[in-house]
Amino acid sequence: MKKIKFFADKNFVIGAVNPNIFSSFIEHLGRAVYTGIYEPDHPTADEQGFRKDVMELVKSLNIPLVRYPGGNFVSGYDWTDGIGLKADRPVRLDLAWRTTETNQFGTDEFMDWAKKSNLQAMMAVNLGTGTPKEAGNLVEYCNHPGGTYWSDLRIKNGHPEPYQVKTWCLGNEMDGPWQICHLDAVDYGKKALEAAKIMKWVDPSIELVACGSSGPLIETFPEWDRVVLEYLYDHVEYISCHRYYENFGDIDDFLGSHVDLENFINTVIHTADYVKAKKRSQKTMYLSVDEWNVWYIKRVKLPDWDIAPPLLEDIYSLLDALVFGGLMCTLLNHVDRVKIACLAQLVNVIAPIFTVKGGPVIKQSTFYPFQQVSTYGRGTVLKTIVDSPTISTNLYGPVPVVHSTTTYNEADGTITIFALNSDREEAAEMATELRSFGNIVPIEHVVLDGIDLDAVNTPEEPEKIKPRMVELTGNSQELKFVLPKASWNMIRLAVK
């Protein structure tokens, strides 16, 4: 068994957890909306057509914000198509995903769904085919109390109270040539600046996210981020980062994906801080990692203009869930700068929740680490030092066998350690040093592991992968935990 030494101290704090790092994303893509969150004919549908079985699972994930309506979709979306009488709404081609959009679900339905699901909307405006003026109109429709054209239209459409949407994305992945009306950094910087001015004139209380790079592999990274921030630094609160990982065949590389996320986040921070220095600014730019996940991009096949076809419906394995857990640790270890993170996406489309049209809903393997971290990863994140042997990887060199993060929730007197053991051959015994807390009692050690790393949950076998409790062996004098080989672990402790 490998021996690991773990150390955290209540005085060495990285930062407070902003709950918005447990946010998610719903795009008009595939079956995320239609037959995902909205299916009027489903036996569990409420009077508005929202699937209540899905809503219950969404609620159980403690998600504060859901980004909407895209994604690539937003860059061709006319938001006015999705409001008013459903019978009058136009059917359009969605050029982003080669599907047909019926517009039976739009901004007002999303706001109602969000309210019923106990979460807030994070809206994206169209800066592809859309104009700064149209972006301002949407802010007016959503947030202005009344007495103007757009706010009165919202009231006429049955919503007298403004939605008070606080967080807005200035377009989506505008650095990507695949984006509808893609722009270069200078043109995006200029367009987004004018949109930002109009949107904040309409509602000065909103906060804005500028499009950062759609990933570290795109050749314009990180120059895109620098140029965009030079235009927008004084007008936005966040720069976005998007990052997806897939298994290209080398499992150790895949398990080491968190190293790449770490490097990506650090480069964006350094780029933002360079612009801060250049501008002699006092303001710190925060990161919105508003798309992250495991995603098998190579499997995507665009449809032939179908309505809500199955698209990007990755079925996640145990291995995917382990990688996913490692990514969550990295996000938490950056809470001082990462203030928003959106798991992309929430239902059916690369999602922790999977539905069958007219049938049941299931939890994918990734549901569990997300739920654990969003439930217990609260309070502050402590600097975690792990003295661990390494695994040699092709992409990242030596990677520590155990990757971890620690949260301390002073309000309820609990410490939670999340840890990925990437070793597929051997368990790791972790000697845990938390002496600054005084007397500590273990509450539970929950593990996600199994003999088959390729195992998945399906509607037929929905519980093939689920966490299990392991017996606690240590005591308050000698806290030792055994992390099984290839496992995701949550260890909860009470401070006495």
Active site residues: 173, 291
CB of 291 to ligand AHR, least distance (A): 5
The per-residue DSSP string of 203-217 comes to: -TT-EEEE---S-TT
411 beta partners: none
CB of 10 to ligand AHR, least distance (A): 38
CB of 25 to ligand AHR, least distance (A): 7
Q: In the chain, count H helices and then E strands.
A: 10, 24
Query: What one-letter code names the amino acid at 57?
Result: L
CB of 39 to ligand AHR, least distance (A): 21
Q: Which is nearer to ligand AHR, 202 or 261 (CB)?
A: 261
Rg, C-alpha atoms of the chain? 23
The CA distance from 193 to 181, in Å, is 17
Q: Which is nearer to ligand AHR, 214 or 355 (CB)?
A: 214
CB of 104 to ligand AHR, least distance (A): 20
Q: Tell me which residue of 210, 68, 202 sits closest to 143, measured CA to CA.
A: 202
Q: Which is nearer to ligand AHR, 71 or 136 (CB)?
A: 71
In the structure encoding, which two tokens stand for residue 251, read together?
A: 């499992």
CB of 403 to ligand AHR, least distance (A): 24
Q: Which is nearer to ligand AHR, 15 or 303 (CB)?
A: 303
Q: Which is nearer to ligand AHR, 109 or 173 (CB)?
A: 173
Q: Are 33 and 74 in contact (CB under 8 A)?
A: no
Helix (H, G, I), strand (E, B), or coil: what is residue 184?
coil
Q: Are 419 and 475 in contact (CB under 8 A)?
A: no
Q: Tell me which residue of 15, 9, 1 sits closest to 432, measured CA to CA.
A: 9
Q: Tell me which residue of 178, 163, 188 sits closest to 239, measured CA to CA.
A: 188
Residues that bind ligand AHR (CB under 6 A): 27, 70-72, 172-173, 214, 291, 344-345
Cβ-proximal residue to ligand AHR, closest one: 71
The CA distance from 263 to 261, in Å, is 5
Sign of CA dihedral 452, 453, 458, 464: positive
Q: Which is nearer to ligand AHR, 71 or 484 (CB)?
A: 71
Beta strands 428-433 and 2-16: pairing type? parallel
Check residue 283 and report its DSSP letter: P
